[in-house]
Every structure is written in structure tokens, then in C-alpha cells.
Structure 1
Amino acid sequence: MDLQERIQHIESRVQAACNRSNRNRKEIEIIAVTKYVSLETAVNAVKFGCKHIGENRWPDAEKKVSLLGSKSTMHFIGHLQSKKVKHIIGKFPYIHSIDRNSLAKEIEKQAIIHDVNVNCFIQVNVSGEESKYGVSPDELFTFAESLTPYKHLNIIGLMTMAPFEQDKEKTRPVFRELKQLRDRLNEKQIFNYKIRHLSMGMSNDFEIAIEEGATFIRLGSQLVGKE
């Protein structure tokens, strides 16, 4: 399939997952992860209807941000070093990987300098894998409380990455737990607003994630390929 056909095929799979779980398609946003593809492919992805673009490295993403930032919404989706924050604030309205207070503090500092608010997801390592970043489920609520002084951080949701499984059903408990954590976070009223979003599900498991409540899914190879 070419790029346009892949985008249409993914859309049909997203809609089918919504139908199975009795969800409104409008609740889910697809982030096209373009970190492994050319600038041309990224441009075409936006041309063919991808409204959200995900990148995880600076300065690799600089040209894409410069060209696509006014035509799409940019998401920083990978592990973020504090020293790189100054480069991405003002260019990426969404950051999916808040996992430590030093990072939050630097984002707040740079957001004040640039006079912007940043939509942030707390990254939670639900699976407990040592290779993955994120706070543990047990640390989540204390960590969330530590973020309340930062007025330029809009904590809009939680993010996680499930283990890669040949049997996709094995990812379901990870996604289900993230949703439960979000609901518990809202019950505790740590923030003075409700957190709605769940950033979860990638090319291998996005349909399961949608069935379990994902509002943002992050798709690379299945959507835009690897060129």
C-alpha cells in the first residue's frame, strides 16, 4: 500500500475498534510518528489528512517542525532531556513524557520565558519494564501533587507504552490499568480540573488501546512506514 492507502486502512481499523467498544470516533486522535521517515513523507502525511505529528529527537525534528508546525499539531513523544527543553518549548504544544520533577521544572521555566502553556502527559511505566521510562503506578499520585505549582503545565492525561507482544491481547491489562489510574487521579482531585486523555497504543496494539479508552494513539510504521 502507498501512504494514502495506509492512512485510509488505519482509519478503517480505528473505526472498527470504536464500533467494537461503542466509542465515538471523534474521541480518538491519531499521531503520525514521523521520526523514521523523510521530510517528504511527513509532508505528504499531513497533506493526506494527518493532523498530529509525533517526533522524539531534537535537532532531527527541526526541519519537520519548521515546515509542518503551522499545518499540524506537533507532539514530543519520546524521553526528553532537560537540556533539550529550551529547543522544543513553543514548537511542540504537547509533551507526552513528563516523568520527573527536574524536567517539569525546566519546562515551567522555559514556558514562562516563551509565554506559553504546554499540554503535558505524565508517563507511567505500568508494565514495570526496566527498559522503559516513566513513574511507577505507586509513585504517580505523589508525583502528580509535585506538579501542581507549575502553572504553565497543563496536565491533560497519562501516557504509557505496553510491552511488544505477539499476542496483542496480553497488552490489554496495561492499557486498562492506565485508565484506572487516570480515574483514581481524578477521584483524588489533585488538580483543579478533570484529566481526560490517555496516550497509549502504537502500531502493534492500537486497536486494543482504543477498546480500553485511548484518546491519542501513536502510529509509526503501520501508518507512515519507515523510509
Structure 2
Amino acid sequence: MIKTLYQMVQRNISAACKNSGRSTEDVTLIAVSKTKPIPKLEEAYQLGIRDFGENKVQELVEKYEALPKDIRWHMIGHLQRNKVKYIIDKVSLIHSVDSIKLAREIEKEGKKHNLRMPVLIEVNVAREESKFGLYPEELDDFFDEVRQFQHIEIKGLMTIAPYVHNPEENRGVFQELRKISVDISMKNLDNTDMSILSMGMTGDYMVAIEEGASMVRVGTGLFGEREYTLHEEIEE
């Protein structure tokens, strides 16, 4: 089943890129594997998928230890400061830096491990109280401090758009994140690269790609219906 769904997602990505005059090489598919058992990830791996997204630290660490080491792990969920130390040397990219306190902790752990951690800044474009992320007007103060860090590499922005039935309803959210990234790029800040826009999930990733997404996070669209856990909070 994963093979069929993967082929469908690939076709959709190609169609969205064609609609917007982009190359499929400019879009990275993140397979959102949270709650999925290891055999399903192994099946996806055999199809050539190498980028997997998790939102729970313990689950990410367990899968990291069990699966091939050429997988690029993405931390896409809210990250508690006291758990940064468990993943700092395991993930390729942290998508969800949503506070200066978290950024400071990543900087501290990066120094301990002598590495520069690539991160995305999570922006709560839609201003949903149930979602994490900085509001757009908080970004200037955030960047003033974080751009001076030596063990963080700011690679772009991420947002989690509202859950909607019609993906067109989120087009404005994606347009706004793109605009924010362009505005930041024009400031030529130290240690700040806006090459990545992580936006769009199973229900709206085609619209996100049309509006400039360079990473899309697809879970249900690849693995089928969610295997829900108690108190699950973040959509795919």
C-alpha cells in the first residue's frame, strides 16, 4: 500500500511543481512516520525514502537506533528543552524552534557536541492558540540574539497551517510565510539562510508547493490512516 500511496504523492508533487514552474528537485518529501511501526518505515526505506519526520523524542531515538544510518531524521514536533540532548547528534534538521529559550539550549548542546545544528524557526502564521511558534512580530528580537550563536545554523522557516477541508483556505498562510522569508533574506543577517520553507501536510501540500514550499511533511498520504495515540496533538 505504501508503494501505491508514494507513487501518488510523487505524481501530486510533480503536478504542483509543474503548476508553479518549479523543479521537483526543489522539493523534499518528509515522510511523517510518528506512531508508525518500524516495518512500515523499512518498507518506505526500500522505496527510496530517506527523510523521516518524528514529533516525539523517545520514538525518534528508538527508530534511529533500529534503522539504517543513512536516514535523515527531522524533528518536526514541539521540542522540550530538557530533551534536546537526546537528539542533538541524531537529527539532520530541527523544524520546530519556537522560542529563544529552546534556541539557547540547542546552542548549548551543540557546543558540547562540537557541531552546528541546522534548524528552522517555527512561525505561527495563522495565530492559532493551540499551536506553538513565534508570531511574525516576534521574529526581529529572536533573530537579533540567535544570529550570534556559533552552534546553530538557521536554514529557514516552518509553519503548521490550520486543519481545513479545502486546501485553498491555507494558501494565504503559505504566501505569508514565503513573504516573511523574503523579508528576512533581504536583511542579510549573519548566520541566517532562508533556503528552506517547511510547510504543507497531507491535506494541503500541493498548495504549499505552489506557494514555495521546499519541504512538505506527509504522513497519512504515505502511510495510510493514522495509528492514533492518546492525547495526540499535532496533525500530519
TM-score range, shorter chain: over 0.9
Aligned to 2:83: 84
Letter aligned with residue 38 of structure 2: L
State how far apart, in whole Å, the 1-side matches of 2:193 and 2:131 are: 27
State how far apart, in whole Å, the 1-side matches of 2:64 and 2:91 are: 8
Structure 2 length as normaliser, TM-score? 0.93
Q: How does 1:141-156 map to 2 (within 5 A)?
A: 141-156=140-155
State how far apart, in whole Å, the 2-side matches of 1:63 and 1:99 are: 24
The answer to whether the Cα contact below 8 Å between 2:52 and 2:73 also exists between their aligned partners in 1 is yes
Aligned to 1:213: 212
- Alpha carbons of structure 1 residues 69 and 151: separation in structure 2 relative to 1, 3 Å: farther
Q: Deviations over 1:104-146 (max 9, x none)?
A: 1111111111122111000000000000100001111221122
Unaligned runs of 5+ in 2: 228-236
Aligned to 2:223: 224
Shift of 1:87: 0.4
Letter aligned with residue 133 of structure 2: G
Letter aligned with residue 130 of structure 1: E
Letter aligned with residue 30 of structure 2: I
Aligned to 1:198: 197
Structure 1 length as normaliser, TM-score? 0.96
Q: Deviations over 1:175-222 (max 9, x none)?
A: 000000000001112225542110000001000000000000001111
Letter aligned with residue 182 of structure 2: D
Aligned to 1:30: 29
Q: Deviations over 1:71-130 (max 9, x none)?
A: 210000000000000101000120001111111111111111112211100000000000
State how far apart, in whole Å, the 2-side matches of 1:132 and 1:186 are: 25
Letter aligned with residue 71 of structure 2: S
Shift of 1:69: 5.3
Unaligned runs of 5+ in 1: none
Aligned to 2:102: 103
State how far apart, in whole Å, the 1-side matches of 2:108 and 2:92 are: 15
Aligned residues, how many?
Answer: 226
State how far apart, in whole Å, the 2-side matches of 1:183 and 1:57 are: 31
The answer to whether the Cα contact below 8 Å between 1:123 and 1:135 also exists between their aligned partners in 2 is yes
State how far apart, in whole Å, the 1-side matches of 2:207 and 2:68 are: 30
SS at match of 1:174: helix
State how far apart, in whole Å, the 1-side matches of 2:115 and 2:190 are: 19
Letter aligned with residue 87 of structure 1: Y
State how far apart, in whole Å, the 1-side matches of 2:123 and 2:34 are: 22
Aligned to 1:115: 114
Aligned to 1:162: 161
4+ residue runs over 3 A deviation: none
Percentage of identical aligned residues = 38
